[in-house]
Amino acid sequence: MRAENSIKIQASVFVLVVVAMWVVRPEPVWWGLVLLASAGVLTAELLNTAVEHLADHLHPEVHPSIRTVKDCAAAAVLVAVLGAIAVGGALAAHLLIRK
């Protein structure tokens, strides 16, 4: 976590999400969904970091195949983030309808 800025950002956002959930106090099912989505984002970010470091170690020069692998790993993080945003949007809609 010390070396990767993106993991620091994701972890910080996770802390903010937990604080927001504590303030809003949604039903337990929403806690589960938000925590699961957050875990997915953090997992994808850690795997992306691992893939990038391994690829750089094994093949430090620029190579089209390595670039594709890194792009796919980064895209996995993007997909996880978009899924987490969708869960957050669904929670926000639920909270607005509930009131």
Q: How confident is the model at residue 1 (pLDDT cuts 50, 70, 90)?
A: low
- Reply yes or no on whether the pLDDT at 76 is more than 70: yes
> Which pTM was predicted?
0.88
Domains delineated in the chain: 5-98 (1.10.287.3610)
Instruction: Tell me what the mean pLDDT of segment 50-75 comes to.
Output: 93
The pLDDT tens digits for 37-59 are: 999 999 999 999 999 999 999 98
Spatial distance between the Cα atoms of 82 and 1, rounded to a whole number of angstroms: 22
**How many DSSP H helices and E strands does the chain contain?**
3, 0
Share of the chain above pLDDT 70, in %: 97
Q: How many C-beta neighbours within 10 Å does residue 73 have?
A: 18
